[in-house]
Structure 1
Amino acid sequence: MHTCTSVCPYDCPDACGLIVTVDGGKAVRVAGDPAHPFTRGTLCPKMAHYERTVHSPRRLTTPLRRTGPKGSGQFEPISWDEALTDIAAKWQKIIAEKGPQAILPYSYAGTMGIVQHDALHGFFYRLGASELDRTICAPAKGRGFKDVMGSTLPTAPQAAQNSDMIILWSLHMLATDIHFQHDVAAAKKKGAVIWCIDTYRNRTADTADHFIAVRPGTDGALALGLMHVLDRDGLTDKAFLKEKVLGWEKLKEKILPKYTPAETERLTGVPAADVVAFAHAYGKARAPFIRLGSGQSRYRNGATTTRLITCLPAAVGAWGKAGGGLLTSAGASKAYHKEIVTHSDWKRPGTRVVNMCRLGEALTQDDSIRSLFVYSSNPACTAPDQNQVLRGLMRDNLFTIVHERFMTDTARYADIVLPATTSLEHDDAYYSYGNYTIQCGWAAIPPVGQSRSNWDVACGLARALGWDEDFYKQSAKDLVEQLIASTVKWPCGVDQDCLRSGRPTPLTLPDDYNQVYATKSGKIEIYNDALTPALPDYKPLEEDKGELAFINSPDMRILDSSFNERDELTNNRTMVLFVHPDDAKRFDLHDGQTVTLQNERGEADFTVEISDRTAPGHVVSEGVWWRERIKGAHSVNVLTSQRLTDEGAGSTFYDVRVDIKK
């Protein structure tokens, strides 16, 4: 029996440090690494027993070939040689008849290690396949921040320990950023006041001193209302605005007068008195800190909304103050030269690009896509407009390969399923996007069954297609070593020996990292003449059909659709719908009743829970569940739209309206 270090591979901003106990080639215990500078020895409930996922009896352990109808889950085992030979032969036939762009890869962040996340990107560039625009999470948030701050590094989360006012804005911290709670608790001990802004009172809101419920999609109007009050009541940092900010006077003159407290209340549902009280607290705070989640960015106005919120720290001069600033997503990925793995230089000019949020359209509007290769994702469950996605996956002339650990909703529609490794079975290099820590995770145990990593699959497919590049003769460990060497570009240096050892490696930040702004003007750009409009303003959502706004929020037990394989995490409580008492009375509903939400895209069944956690006219569910975990035939994404955000071409998962029926 021995222990080794590792990293949580899931799409979470924390990237926890792990201590793995191994006995006889099996992981028998997973604990938090107390040496990690941000996660500090604790784990979320999902990862506390990661060994149950790694050694689950549900693991896929051999390649499979479909024997029954698509979606039936009927397969027979085959060898890896058979699987790779069959894939190569079918692809060569498709390429000869339709060209390489008839093949489409589909992947996202099932693993966040650089090697395994990007392993097949270069392969498909080299093949000449259609490209996938990977925008399903929160690119609008990144664009909104960049529109104001350029390439400036966001504030480190540990800085919040010195703040006297922490704002958790559209961030369900206990579900998606649990270790930031350490910093919040440290600040509270020093007297900090915690505010939470969200569309409903989730469990994170219960931990705050103040909660503000904002109408879905109106966070940008709230930000403008706050800035109106800050300016009106003399609470801005005039010296900072004059020296460090471009465009404040234009915003003040042309935009802010419209957003009085009364008008802000009309738009957002936040009482005018609360708008004023919040603005005064923010303007009088010594060093306010905003931890900005992604929820506000998943509407048609998502980038603009983030842009407006990003202006707030400039208004009060929070940047550069010890404990002040704003964190969207940390820039730890910049420590590595990811092109070592990705090879975007292999892209072919003029290649078709398919936005992953519009997979349903791509598979059903025409049949030019003849093969789909899915890895590190579960689009039958997680992609918007589920009905259209499933219709595409049912096509007889679509040859689908799924590389997976479990028989997910998507794997059931595959022609060939390939068994995938977990993070404890392969080598990789990791970074956090919620703090400034990087780490390597070396294989702790042998692959379970015949499972292979994304990188090994890329190499195997290259051989099956007759490619002879030296690139595909390397091991994952070779690539990790090159990534370690590439960290020399980090401005303050990286302890490569620490990184190579597998220990958590903190990235030292320049002393002035949040006082020097990496924008074209060298200032914070509230006014940005490269954009249309150059000044940000609130964009109201176009009203869709449907009596109720519907939001599907994160569930603390799972992460997107990951961890659905674990029976003990679901507790038989899935597809629960929070309904405000006023709406329950209006629609004559009672606790425990099954209702159907519907819109033009489809319908899904939920169990009613009458609760004042949500607001009238607004219903909420939590979690993205495999179809085997739910009562009806469809999960929440049957209701969501393939519409994209205003910038960044991101998903609009929260921009949904529905009708309700018993």
Structure 2
Amino acid sequence: MHRQQSSHWGLFTAASTPDGLGVIADPDDPDPAPLLRNVPAALDERVRVLAPHVRKGWLEGRGVRGRDEYVQVSWAEAVELAAGALDRVRRVHGNEAIYGGSYGWGSAGRFHHAQSQIHRFLNVIGGYTRSVNSYSLGAATPLLRHVVGSVDPIGRPTAWPVLAEHTEHFVCFGGIPAKNSQVNSGGISKHSVAGHLRQARARGARFTLVGPLRDDLAAELDAEWLAPVPGTDTALMLALCHVLIERGWHAEEFLRTHCEGFEEFWKYLSGAADGTAKSPQWAEEICGIDAAVIVGLAESMATRRTMVTLSWSLQRARHGEQPLWAGIALACVLGQIGLPGGGFGHGYGSMAGIGVRPLPYRLPTLPQGVNPVRQFIPVARIADMLLNPGQEYEYNGERRTYPDIRLVYWAGGNPFHHHQDLTRLAEAFNRPEAVIVHDPFWTATARHADIVFPATTTLERNDLGCAREDRALVAMRQVVPPLGEARSDFEIFAALAEKLGLAQEFTEGRDERAWLEHLYEQWRQNFDPGLDFAQFWENGRLDLPGEPDDQVLYDRFRADPAGNPLPTPSGRIELFSQRIDSFGYADCPGHPAWLVPEELQVPPGSGEFPLFLVANNPATRLHSQLDHGATSADSKVHDREPMRIHPADAAARGLSTGDIARVVSATGSALAAVVISDAVRPGVVQLSTGAWFDPSAPEVATCIHGNPNAVTRDIGTSSLAQGCTGQLTRIEVRRHEDPPPPLRTLTPPIAPR
């Protein structure tokens, strides 16, 4: 029997066949994601955690997380050990000493959403230290709230149909990569981004790609490609602003009525503040783009309806707040914010749902309760927290202190994918008294745990699939029985809650089916979609009612800024923020500024690490999920992650396509497979994230599989946001002469019986 499922990369039907799991993309999806070919690997028993396991050294009071073997235990014993560890830590050190980690991409289902499940459980037992923001948007979230008062540029940018109809010039900093548009948090029933871009191009829209990778815009869009030195986008944007203002092409009235602090910003741009005008000639020396090209681009932007698109990748680097703020300032200088097809947007192409109007109501969601612990950290500072309890740090105007974490509980997500400097993260994971992990697979996170609970995948349970940017509510009916002894996160937490005497508080007396019905019926009280739960479950899908608000972002604000002020201190867009300025941060002043990152303190092409590494999101998987799946596996070369390098850089190092190379930085090293390509800028190497971390041969490389976070630095974007900086680092590449060591990622670390 075929069962409909929802996933972050689209709707599909699945069925168990004699040849394994069969997966068929939804026939109504105009552009199904190739990532669906990875789905059958969810049932690959070679890498599944099939029973509860405990780290052997933890039982014996010795050993090192990440290098130890595991012994299988019964469910009763695993629950006893985990409940005992939780109870001991909260009694002796308080609930602040428990860090609850999760990342929300484990499932498109809303009930079996691991992040909701773990937060609900930890809230029931008294709370936990949490994280805020995300690796994807760590710099953007705090900055946007200061500059425009909300994260609406992420959640509610101008909709794709408006762009396709009205935008005359797309200036795409970081591109609009098709690969990222394949995925969406919570699911996506129709992939439409590529179609809207084609529609705009057919209408005559011009595209300019600003970034080091030519294929970050589809070739069919015939884009002009500008490839500045990586990390210099801010300098280019400031120069564009300078040209527009100096030549009188700027929107003087908009800057006066809708923006705060233009005078201070212009003092900086003109050089009155520091003696350096941010002119095209100044920018040319920094970013390598001819001054005449910068002037020509500014003129085109001033004479066309222009959308400035800012990829999430821009802010995943040192001083990542600055390119986003400078991009907003550029849109303000153009003065088209609030006009159909004009202005700026943050994240077009970063997910399929960006640019799709969200539904005007909430969807079924598991309530998480209230966390009585007020302690938190920026999500990308987990290693700092674990290694430096009691240390003070700056964040968003506050002087905060890292808590003393004694227990890490992780369900959903893989920090050994997201985080930087994985050697340092492994060291940090060895500090707590206990680490408990739910995982379907023997990921690097599971291999750094003391107690590993085998979790089911979405194929092995029932759920409700939906996203606010989509129009389908899907009955995700179980396709196959749980593998081995795997249980859902809900069942695991229910067992622990019962052991701790809190079963009723956690489950409210409901099992999986009862919760699904409860969430659905509670949701439909606000309106009648025409189906009760039994009918919906039998139907398998509900097209969601209600029309989204298609109003262009900021059009009310544009029409009447006094009557429709933004939630900023001034009520306007803040080109100069007195609040940020009052923090006194040298690494994030009160206006957009060119701050030289460490990666550029040695000129490109020189020094011990002459090349730039761009560690972008992969085209063949979602983050590190199902790295062993068909689409992901097909991209490997000699079982290693492919690394693209420009022909000139390859020739200078004696490299050929198919060679195994050693990528080296000041932080660490990784083995990767060489792919020579002129789609990368000279001086740039591109190695995608998501290869399962394999440190099994440290004498050869920090990671022998090709995980770029083996070589990235673990440092925050700035004192303002403390976001992730894993997008860029400086490296050298050398041919690896010896046969590469065998990978261990598909070999579970289980002690022989």
Report the TM-score range of the alignment, normalised by the length of the smaller protein. Answer: 0.7 to 0.9
Counterpart-to-counterpart distance in 2, 1:642 and 1:319:
36
Aligned to 1:161: 164
Give the residue type in structure 2 aligned to 1:373: Y
**Of 617, 640, 654, which aligns to 2:712?**
640
2:623 is paired with a residue whose SS is: coil
The Cα of 1:322 is off from its aligned counterpart by 2.7
The Cα of 1:59 is off from its aligned counterpart by 3.5
Kindly indicate whether residue 321 of structure 2 is the aligned counterpart of residue 303 of structure 1: yes
Aligned to 1:175: 179
Aligned to 2:632: 569
Aligned to 1:612: 678
Deviation larger for 116-125 or 231-240: 231-240
Give the residue type in structure 1 aligned to 2:381: R
Counterpart-to-counterpart distance in 1, 2:100 and 2:213:
36
Aligned to 2:398: none
Contact 1:3 1:22 in 2 (8 A): yes
Counterpart-to-counterpart distance in 2, 1:74 and 1:30:
38
2:672 is paired with a residue whose SS is: strand
Counterpart-to-counterpart distance in 2, 1:300 and 1:498:
51
2:146 is paired with a residue whose SS is: helix
Matches within 5 A, 1:445-456: 445=479, 447-449=481-483, 450-456=485-491
Counterpart-to-counterpart distance in 2, 1:22 and 1:477:
21
Aligned to 2:586: none
Give the residue type in structure 2 aligned to 1:625: A
Kindly indicate whether residue 584 of structure 2 is the aligned counterpart of residue 538 of structure 1: no
Aligned to 1:341: 367
Counterpart-to-counterpart distance in 2, 1:328 and 1:463:
44
2:555 is paired with a residue whose SS is: coil
Matches within 5 A, 1:269-284: 269-284=288-303
Inter-CA distance 24–585: structure 2 relative to 1 (3 Å threshold): closer
Aligned to 1:20: 13
CA offsets, 1:407-457, max 9 Å, x none?
11221233322222323424245425xx56574554343652343333333
The Cα of 1:337 is off from its aligned counterpart by 8.2
Aligned to 1:143: 142
Contact 2:38 2:629 in 1 (8 A): no
Contact 2:100 2:129 in 1 (8 A): yes
**Of 205, 222, 228, which aligns to 1:192?**
205
Aligned to 2:350: none
Inter-CA distance 211–172: structure 2 relative to 1 (3 Å threshold): same
The Cα of 1:640 is off from its aligned counterpart by 1.4
Q: TM-score, normalised by structure 1?
A: 0.85
Counterpart-to-counterpart distance in 1, 2:334 and 2:520:
39
**Of 392, 417, 433, which aligns to 2:452?**
417
Inter-CA distance 461–321: structure 2 relative to 1 (3 Å threshold): same
Gaps of 5+ in 1: 10-14, 35-39
2:597 is paired with a residue whose SS is: coil
Counterpart-to-counterpart distance in 2, 1:420 and 1:409:
15
Inter-CA distance 191–482: structure 2 relative to 1 (3 Å threshold): farther
Aligned to 1:292: 310
Counterpart-to-counterpart distance in 1, 2:327 and 2:464:
35
Aligned to 1:621: 687
2:580 is paired with a residue whose SS is: coil
Aligned to 2:548: 508
Inter-CA distance 580–304: structure 2 relative to 1 (3 Å threshold): same
Give the residue type in structure 2 aligned to 1:341: P
Count matched residues. Answer: 640
Aligned to 1:121: 119
Counterpart-to-counterpart distance in 1, 2:425 and 2:712:
12
Contact 2:497 2:506 in 1 (8 A): no
The Cα of 1:368 is off from its aligned counterpart by 5.1
CA offsets, 1:521-570, max 9 Å, x none?
44333233332244322222133774332221222112221121215522
The Cα of 1:269 is off from its aligned counterpart by 1.7
Aligned to 1:80: 75
Give the residue type in structure 1 aligned to 2:575: I
Counterpart-to-counterpart distance in 2, 1:277 and 1:370:
57
**Of 425, 429, 441, which aligns to 1:389?**
425
Counterpart-to-counterpart distance in 2, 1:613 and 1:2:
41
Contact 1:173 1:181 in 2 (8 A): no
Inter-CA distance 419–204: structure 2 relative to 1 (3 Å threshold): farther
Q: TM-score, normalised by structure 2?
A: 0.76
Inter-CA distance 232–507: structure 2 relative to 1 (3 Å threshold): farther
Counterpart-to-counterpart distance in 1, 2:522 and 2:255:
38
Inter-CA distance 27–156: structure 2 relative to 1 (3 Å threshold): farther
Give the residue type in structure 1 aligned to 2:138: P
| Percentage of matched positions with identical amino acids | 22
Contact 1:225 1:264 in 2 (8 A): yes
Counterpart-to-counterpart distance in 2, 1:317 and 1:227:
11
Counterpart-to-counterpart distance in 2, 1:256 and 1:482:
61
**Of 237, 260, 263, which aligns to 2:282?**
263
Inter-CA distance 599–20: structure 2 relative to 1 (3 Å threshold): same
Aligned to 2:665: 599
Inter-CA distance 246–380: structure 2 relative to 1 (3 Å threshold): closer
Counterpart-to-counterpart distance in 2, 1:190 and 1:313:
23
The Cα of 1:58 is off from its aligned counterpart by 3.9
The Cα of 1:304 is off from its aligned counterpart by 2.2
**Of 724, 733, 748, which aligns to 1:651?**
724
Kindly indicate whether residue 26 of structure 2 is the aligned counterpart of residue 32 of structure 1: yes
Inter-CA distance 203–216: structure 2 relative to 1 (3 Å threshold): closer
2:632 is paired with a residue whose SS is: helix
Contact 1:357 1:383 in 2 (8 A): yes
Give the residue type in structure 1 aligned to 2:373: R
Contact 1:313 1:325 in 2 (8 A): yes
Kindly indicate whether residue 340 of structure 2 is the aligned counterpart of residue 322 of structure 1: yes
Contact 2:3 2:479 in 1 (8 A): no
Contact 1:421 1:447 in 2 (8 A): no
Inter-CA distance 652–488: structure 2 relative to 1 (3 Å threshold): farther
**Of 376, 380, 398, which aligns to 2:416?**
380
Deviation larger for 514-523 or 48-57: 48-57
The Cα of 1:192 is off from its aligned counterpart by 1.5
Deviation larger for 23-32 or 132-141: 23-32
Counterpart-to-counterpart distance in 2, 1:113 and 1:391:
33
Aligned to 1:466: 501
Deviation larger for 587-596 or 562-571: 587-596
Give the residue type in structure 2 aligned to 1:514: Y
Aligned to 2:231: 217
Aligned to 1:12: none
Inter-CA distance 89–317: structure 2 relative to 1 (3 Å threshold): same
Deviation larger for 498-507 or 595-604: 498-507
Gaps of 5+ in 2: 58-62, 183-190, 272-276, 348-353, 390-402, 558-565, 582-588, 603-607, 736-753
Aligned to 2:563: none
Aligned to 1:527: 576
Give the residue type in structure 2 aligned to 1:107: S
Counterpart-to-counterpart distance in 1, 2:387 and 2:685:
30
CA offsets, 1:618-639, max 9 Å, x none?
3322232114599855132121
Aligned to 2:645: 579
Give the residue type in structure 1 aligned to 2:709: N
**Of 614, 636, 642, which aligns to 1:551?**
614
**Alignment root-mean-square deviation, CA:** 3.6
CA offsets, 1:354-399, max 9 Å, x none?
444233344445695443222212223432111122234456x742
